[in-house]
Copies of this chain bind each other. A is one copy, B any other.
Amino acid sequence: MKICTGIAPVNIAVIKYWGKKDEKLILPMNDSISGTLSTDEMHAKTSVALSPDFTEDKLWLNGKEVSIHQPRVAVCLSELRKLAQQKKSGGDMVHWKMHICSENNFPTAAGLASSAAGYSCLVFTIAHALGLDSSQVSHIARQGSGSACRSMFGGFVRWRALPSELEGKQSDGEESEDLRRKQSEASNAEQIISEAYWGSMRVIILVVNDQAKSTSSTDGMQRTTLTSTLYTHRVHTVVPERCERMETALNEKDFATFAQLTMQDSNQFHACCLDTYPPIVYMNDTSHAVVRFVHEFNTVAGGTKVAYTFDAGPNACLYLLEDSVPLLLSTLVQYFPASSEISVPYVRGLKYSTTPSPLQLPSFTPQPAGLLQYLISTRIGSGPKILDDIPNNHLVNEQGAPNHLTS
């Protein structure tokens, strides 16, 4: 019997992933780059129990049992077991069944890349239990949820698309098992800079009040690759050059370049969504108000102090340096006031002791109260961690049952 518990971070792309070359292996159309958020504020947590007595694999998500046979979970488990056998790691445990419990410490409803953190945590924790090197399994996390591979490392991370020499199919139209394996292993994530290298990088998440059901990203990506005439240009011409400039900006800690590239790439991702037929729209009027606010803030502040980026939903994620946070927060709270009915802190997470007077933004009108639900103040952090030395931390007990269930 073995029990292992890990946590894994959320990541927020600054050069966006959108579109798959291969739906099954989840091979992306282009490279992407993301920042890994500190697990102090947001993380997924997974416990895995392995025992020779268990008769079947089982999975609980946020306290609810779900099918272990969903293809993306199943492929992660089988790939991890296959790798362990190949590496002669984990001994008999590769034949034991697993009971897995996983949960997020942040609302899934916030649309904050919960599946990336979740699959990263699942793969990281099981890899650890089976004695595998966790730095070598990002390609397995990728097969759970594409961007999960980027949550396998701290700092800023680049997820590479398939190198062109591995793209070809064999002459008979069928790809060999061997080529498929090579393809899968070649599209992995790697750290560009560590969380310590640019330690002053901060992140603020703006959770937008919005009930609208968005297009799922899997469906959206397929539609974009099939119908957007601008998308191909983005993939082949714009992104490769942007990734190189982004890596340079990160290595040189050049915030202005980092910020402009981040904003431009977010806008271009949403532009390609809009160029999809029928169009896909993730940003709403509040999101666009945040965009105008950030540009106006930067104008009045006399330089590019803050960058916005938006994923497949209306929430904004702001990147900025530590010394800009107090002024940004006081100004943001002034121009996007909390609802008068708010019952929880409006700004959560990392605290700052100074509260400067807000910047006055002559060209930006204060917004109605309650457009934003709340803000999460956080920073760039490290990759997944094992918590085994912390007592009572497991989500699963010695009998392989979850420690708490929700109905």
Contacts and interface: CB of A to CB of B under 8 A. Distances in A.
Interface of A: 229-230, 233-234, 237-238, 260, 263-264, 267-268, 270-272, 274-279, 281, 284-285, 288, 291, 295
Contact of A284 (B230, B267, B272, B285): B285
A291 B271 contact: no
Given A230-B238, A233-B233, A234-B230, A274 B267 contact: yes
Nearest to A232: B233
B274 A270 contact: yes
Contacts of A275: 230, 264, 267-268, 271
Contact of A268 (B229, B264, B268, B295): B229
| Copies of this chain assembled into the complex | 2
A84 to B, nearest CB: 45
Nearest to A229: B238
Contact of A230 (B268, B277, B278): B268
A267 B284 CA distance: 16
A265 to B, nearest CB: 10
A305 B104 CA distance: 45
The 6 closest A-B pairs by CB, nearest first: A271-B271, A233-B233, A271-B275, A271-B274, A230-B230, A278-B295
A140 B279 CA distance: 37
B260 A279 contact: no
A264 B277 contact: yes
A291 B279 contact: yes
A277 B271 CA distance: 12
A295 B291 CA distance: 28
Nearest to A279: B267
A267 B277 contact: yes
Nearest to A286: B285
Contacts of A285: 284-285
Contacts of A281: 288, 291
Given A230-B272, A271-B272, A281-B291, 7 more contacts: A230-B268, A267-B274, A267-B275, A270-B274, A278-B295, A279-B291, A284-B288
A303 to B, nearest CB: 14
A291 B233 CA distance: 25
9 contacts: A230-B230, A230-B275, A264-B277, A267-B274, A267-B275, A271-B275, A278-B291, A281-B291, A285-B285
A35 to B, nearest CB: 21
Contacts of A278: 263, 291, 295
Which of A234, A276, A277, A279: most chain B Cβ within 10 A?
A279
A234 B277 CA distance: 16
Nearest to A242: B229
A101 B238 CA distance: 50
A306 to B, nearest CB: 13
A288 B281 CA distance: 8
Contacts of A288: 281, 284
A105 to B, nearest CB: 31
Nearest to A275: B271
Which of A230, A264, A272: most chain B Cβ within 10 A?
A230
A274 B263 CA distance: 11
A261 to B, nearest CB: 10
A152 to B, nearest CB: 30
